[in-house]
Amino acid sequence: MNAVTYDDARLGLMLTELRLPTIGSLWPDFTQRADKEGWPATRLLGALLEHELAERVKRRIERHRIESHLDPAKTLEAFDFGMVPMVSKSHVMALATGDSWLEKGATILLFGPPGGGKSHLGSAIGHALIDAGYRVLFTRTGELVQKLQAARQSLQLPSMLTKLDRFDLIIL
């Protein structure tokens, strides 16, 4: 029985066609290492697929973080809970998982004086939810209203609402 062989260029083209860029960049090193160390085929394939999946998650999180318009500096790690003693760190951390309240469609309202950390806290929760796999949009209320009014005037309101509906959380 003849073994089927593939040249490097053809493998690269197939991986590009299948949209597997991480495997496309890693397979030469992995196959060389597998040949040297005598890996079974399943180990080689498993290692390549694990890297591909991990890279896809990383790219998706980066893409969601960009589309969210969140301030990159306003994270939970950067929030000083000591400066705002009326905010419970454990409660905020529970909100940041999004497990129950987000699935139920509940609303969170943050009240306080200017400079009290409301925007920072909202952004921080948004960042944590993106890391947990949710899609978040951070926008000013007035900007959203203007976009919705413009969409209504141009008869694009249903498509605008469909776009907004893709987000798990909208922070205003």
Show pLDDT as tens, one digit a residue, over the chain (172 residues): 556 677 888 888 888 899 999 998 998 899 899 999 999 989 999 999 999 999 999 999 999 999 999 999 999 999 988 888 888 899 899 889 877 888 888 888 888 888 888 999 999 999 999 999 999 999 999 999 999 999 999 999 999 999 999 999 999 9
Evaluate whether residue 2 is within a structural domain.
no
DSSP string, 69-113: T--TT--TTT--GGG-TTS-HHHHHHHHH-TTHHHHT--------
Residue 34 lies in a domain: yes
Q: Is residue 74 part of a domain?
A: no
Task: For CA atoms 139, 99, 105, 53, give the dihedral sign.
Answer: positive
Element (H, E) at 135: none
Does 75 map to a domain? no
- Tokens of residue 133, six digits: 């796999």
Residue 57's domain comprises 8-68
CATH of residue 123's domain is 3.40.50.300
> How far is Cα 85 from Cα 169, in angstroms, rounded to an integer?
26
Angle between helices 21-37 and 41-68 (to 10 degrees): 150
Residue 101 placed within a domain: yes
**Same domain membership, residue 94 and residue 153:** yes
Looking at the structure, tell me whether residues 53 and 127 fall in a common domain: no
Query: Looking at the structure, do residues 35 and 116 belong to the same domain, yes or no?
Result: no
Give the whole-angstrom CA distance, residue 31 versus residue 111: 57
pTM for this predicted structure: 0.78
